[in-house]
Structure 1
Amino acid sequence: MSLPIVFYIFAFIFGAAVGSFLNVCICRLPKGESIVFPPSHCTRCDYKIRFYDNIPLISYLLLGGKCRSCREPISVQYPVVELLNGLLALFLFIKFGPTPTFAVLFLLCAALVVITFIDLEHQIIPDVISLPGIVVGLICSFFLPWLGWFDSLTGILLGGGSLLLVAYGYHLLTGKEGMGGGDIKLLAMLGAFLGWRSVPFIIFAASLAGSVIGVSVMLAKGKDSKLAIPFGPFLAFGAVLYIFYGRQLITWYLSLGRGGGG
């Protein structure tokens, strides 16, 4: 069913507006601060941001990327997050329309945006997102006919359990911690929202993307580079890829095996 273009425009605007709130979460959650109080303000001069300076994307452009009061530069992260979340909302709406699936997957993607930017900067995945996310994903499964509570519960166990085994095995072999508990909880949350079938795909896509980026960084900075690359953003990438193209890619991959059978 084709909808008037205004619906798609609204989906993007809605996503960008939520992205403005996600920036608050990204900034405050690692510090243990409230995401409600105080209201949005400049972190340098404490200037209280007015509503007309808080319009997603537009205000950043009109202000030239600087605080109205102290004229200090505003991080480019703010419009990037707003644009990214707006595009995610738009593409989800195009794929799923005004359905419960859109609402649930938009909630998941918004959480993944926050997790990605926090993990990139601080190398942590806040439990305040992943642990409630596991519960919320399981609850949502009761209202999504394509998922179901059993697939969700199995996804939690498979997602968390698989990475837990990997982490345990790595520790036994090397005596070092190779994967944080945050990644384990994140994959359990993804299994809760997307079901157990998504877990192998997400792990494969995340590992492949992580390897490509890791090798690229090593080649750029030298073999002795000690740069730690968080795995959470790659798990988030794998989950988003599964949402939009997972079934098509799995079908394509299986068709290669059938085609090669002679």
Structure 2
Amino acid sequence: MSGILTFYFFAFIFGAVVGSFLNVCIYRLPKGESVVFPPSHCLQCGYKIRFYDNIPIVSYLFLRGRCRSCDTSISLQYPVVELLNGLLTLFLFIKFGPTLTFLLLFLFSSALVAITFIDLEHQIIPDVISLPGIVIGFVASFFLPWLGWKNSLIGILLGGGSLLIIAYGYQFLTKKEGMGGGDIKLLAMMGAFLGWRSIPFIIFIASLVGSVVGITLMLAQKKDSKLAIPFGPFLAFAAILYVFYGREIIWWYLSLAGPNPGG
């Protein structure tokens, strides 16, 4: 039992460390900056962050959320991303174990974490994440029997194509652009990693949750229908939900929608 807990512990730590790198990507990719150079530093005073001040979650708590050099407040986003990615990695490891599936879905979920926070702040989904993601997901499908290259390829076409049709339809009816190309490429990436069967589920859940959140925010802020809400985070949430519980939810829904033996 202790051996299993040790593996779980290191899975969480590994995910949190990668989450620290994701924070760099979240800040720099929208600016077109390198994620490698220069090394991590305080955005206010330029202080080069030492390794002992860059320990995921722990350093933020130890420093009480402030720079060691200039005492400037550090965004809470940093430990949140590290904790979130650590937990996702842990849960993926618990579900799939040390397998190629775990590795593939770890890359996928980490990409979704970065995309979510970038889209929330900048309302963009960087091609530098989604386009390589499509290629990686498709290539990996050749080595995963449960996915398969045909399933992945159809997922790419269905994912990207379905949102493209919706986007053009919305634009034709309203004469306004309601969905960016980033969402289309993101859903194509999801199809590459998860296969075509995931696409209807992801679109339905993302649309449902997005509508509830959007209406709630409009009522709370007293905004009209022009309130801009990024769709990427809802797609990411739905994709993660599919990874962990998609099949169970689909079977549960089908059991409700099926014929009633006593009717």
- TM-score using structure 2 length: 0.97
SS in 2 for 1:125: coil
Give the residue type in structure 1 aligned to 2:73.
P
State whether structure 2 residue 212 is matched by structure 1 residue 227: no
Aligned to 2:192: 192
Aligned to 1:48: 48
Aligned to 1:118: 118
SS in 2 for 1:242: helix
Distance 1:60 1:227 in 2: 34
1:115-162 Cα offsets, whole Å, 9 max, x none, are 000000000000000011101100010111100000000000000000
Aligned to 2:33: 33
Give the residue type in structure 1 aligned to 2:39.
P
Q: How does 1:209-224 map to 2 (within 5 A)?
A: 209-224=209-224
Give the residue type in structure 2 aligned to 1:49.
I
Give the residue type in structure 2 aligned to 1:232.
G
**Mean CA deviation greater in 89-98 or 219-228:** 219-228
Give the residue type in structure 2 aligned to 1:244.
F
1:222 deviates by: 1.2
Aligned to 1:162: 162
- TM-score using structure 1 length: 0.98
Aligned to 1:95: 95
CA shift in 2, pair 1:204/1:133, >3 Å: same
Aligned to 1:65: 65
Distance 2:95 2:86 in 1: 14
Could you tell me which runs of 5 or more consecutive residues in structure 2 were left unpaired when the two chains were aligned.
none
Please tell me the root mean square deviation across aligned C-alpha atoms, in Å.
1.3
SS in 2 for 1:38: coil
SS in 2 for 1:219: helix
**Mean CA deviation greater in 26-35 or 219-228:** 219-228
- Runs of 4+ in structure 1 deviating by more than 4 angstroms, as ranges, are none
Distance 2:233 2:65 in 1: 26
SS in 2 for 1:4: helix
Distance 2:235 2:224 in 1: 26
Aligned to 1:245: 245
Distance 1:80 1:260 in 2: 45
CA shift in 2, pair 1:223/1:75, >3 Å: closer
1:228 deviates by: 1.0
1:2 deviates by: 10
Distance 2:259 2:57 in 1: 48
Distance 1:14 1:77 in 2: 18
1:40-66 Cα offsets, whole Å, 9 max, x none, are 000110000000000000000000100
Aligned to 1:19: 19
Distance 2:89 2:209 in 1: 23
1:260 deviates by: 3.3
Aligned to 1:150: 150
1:55-80 Cα offsets, whole Å, 9 max, x none, are 00000000010000000000000000
Aligned to 2:134: 134
1:227 deviates by: 3.1
SS in 1 for 2:258: helix
Matched residue pairs, number? Answer: 262
Distance 2:82 2:204 in 1: 28
Distance 2:28 2:115 in 1: 12
Distance 1:139 1:72 in 2: 44
1:238 deviates by: 0.5
Give the residue type in structure 1 aligned to 2:66.
K
1:3 deviates by: 5.7
CA shift in 2, pair 1:149/1:125, >3 Å: same
1:224 deviates by: 3.0
1:15 deviates by: 0.3
Distance 1:200 1:2 in 2: 41
Distance 1:2 1:255 in 2: 39
Q: How does 1:177-188 map to 2 (within 5 A)?
A: 177-188=177-188
